[in-house]
Amino acid sequence: MKLTRRTLLKSGAGALTASTVAGCLDDISAADANLDAGYAAFFTLWDWAEQVSGDAIDFENPVGTGQAGHGWSPSGDLTRDIADAGVFVYFDTPAFSWAQDVAATLESDYDTVAVIDGLEGLDDQLLGWDHETDSHESEGDHSNETNDGHDHGGASIDPHVWLDPVLATEIVDTIASGLAEADPDNAETYEENAASYKSALESVDQQFTELLETADRHVAVFAGHDSFTYLQDRYRFEIHTPVGVSPQEEPSASDISETIDLVDSEGIETILYDPFEDPDGAYPLVETIIEESDATDAMPITHLSGTLATWQDEGWGYREQMEEINLPAFREVLDAQ
């Protein structure tokens, strides 16, 4: 697996080649647009687009290795590069505002480029930022419980829908349908690839289901910003964090104290953390919780909006990172079989 079939993904802030060239889009002719190449807005969408397109399209992920895709901004005129490709896969949500801007430009000025919104059709299944999951409820449908009346472009919507492997299958279908509509000659290939990859996602879903069925605990502590609501909502468990939904938010002393009390009362031995939050490996919040509580260890989990160099070297995509990182961590923390 590769993050690009050119050489755009080096380290750094979304290092780009042609995207750094200034200029308007007016000199890109319709004849330049094709479906031999495409862009996806962040790591997971890139992986899914690659899985669905197979050898038909070379997709690129502009977000640099080691960086989280949500909240990212391109350093150059990335719109020019995307317009020169044939397809753009993105999420129409303010968490990826740069992608919304690119999509708007493409749809307005370049009808030869296929623009695919992975959230299309999911309005009634998207959760609000203030959604609260009851970890003791039986699994039900994931209809809109807190965000009636909002479309998926609204700032009140939690964008981390890709962390739910069940909803992921619907996004993969949307990507396949979009590619098939834009490239009918390869429609059967896209359909077959999507069906095969959906089986892999269903396996991830089954593993999470079985994990929670055998778990002795249904609460975990995460020293990072709240990104996992969809996962909690799907499998009915709780991830407590002293940090809010923003990576820039600093936890208060009382929030940290409450978290420490929870760790001790639940007998939690392992604290979860976000490996993207500090490339130097310094996690003072994790250290504080471990020093002040009975916890003795920490394990990473990933929100899958980006990837790390070590995971890239292993060739780990969405499924592999779920199985090699997230599932083992939750199995450990929740005392599951």
Tens of each residue's pLDDT in the chain, 337 residues: 434 433 333 333 333 333 333 334 444 333 344 588 999 999 999 999 999 999 999 999 999 998 887 778 887 788 989 999 999 999 999 989 999 999 999 999 988 899 999 999 999 999 998 766 665 443 333 333 333 333 444 568 899 999 999 999 999 999 999 999 999 999 999 999 999 999 999 999 999 999 999 999 999 999 998 899 999 999 999 999 998 666 567 889 999 999 999 999 999 999 999 998 876 777 899 999 999 999 999 999 999 999 999 999 999 999 999 999 999 999 999 999 8
CA 9/CA 84 separation, integer angstroms: 18
> Which pLDDT belongs to residue 8?
31
Which CATH number is 209-333 given?
Answer: 3.40.50.1980
Question: Cα 262 to chain center, whole Å?
Answer: 28
Strand, coil or helix: what is 59?
A: strand
- CATH of the domain spanning 30-204: 3.40.50.1980
* CATH 3.40.50.1980 domain position(s) in the chain: 30-204, 209-333
Comparing CA positions, the residue from 196, 179, 173, 176 lying closest to residue 36 is 179
Residues whose CB is less than 8 angstroms from the CB of residue 112 and which lie 6 or more positions away in sequence, other chains included: 30, 33, 86
**Residue 6 DSSP symbol:** S
285 within 8 A of 242, measured Cβ to Cβ? yes
The predicted model scores a pTM of 0.84
Residue 121 burial class via C-beta count within 10 angstroms: exposed 0-12, middle 13-18, buried 19 and up: middle
Q: State the Cα–Cα distance between residues 274 and 260, nearest whole angstrom.
A: 18
User: What is the spatial distance between Cα 130 and Cα 246, in angstroms, rounded to a whole number?
Assistant: 13
In this prediction, residue 72 carries a pLDDT of 81
- Contact yes or no for 228/239 (Cβ under 8 A): yes
Taking the C-alpha atoms of residue 109 and residue 27, their distance in angstroms, rounded to an integer, is: 12
pLDDT for the residue 246: 61
Cα 220–Cα 224–Cα 225 angle in degrees, nearest 5: 105
Element of type H or E holding 290: helix 284-292
The Cα–Cα gap between 70 and 246 comes to 11
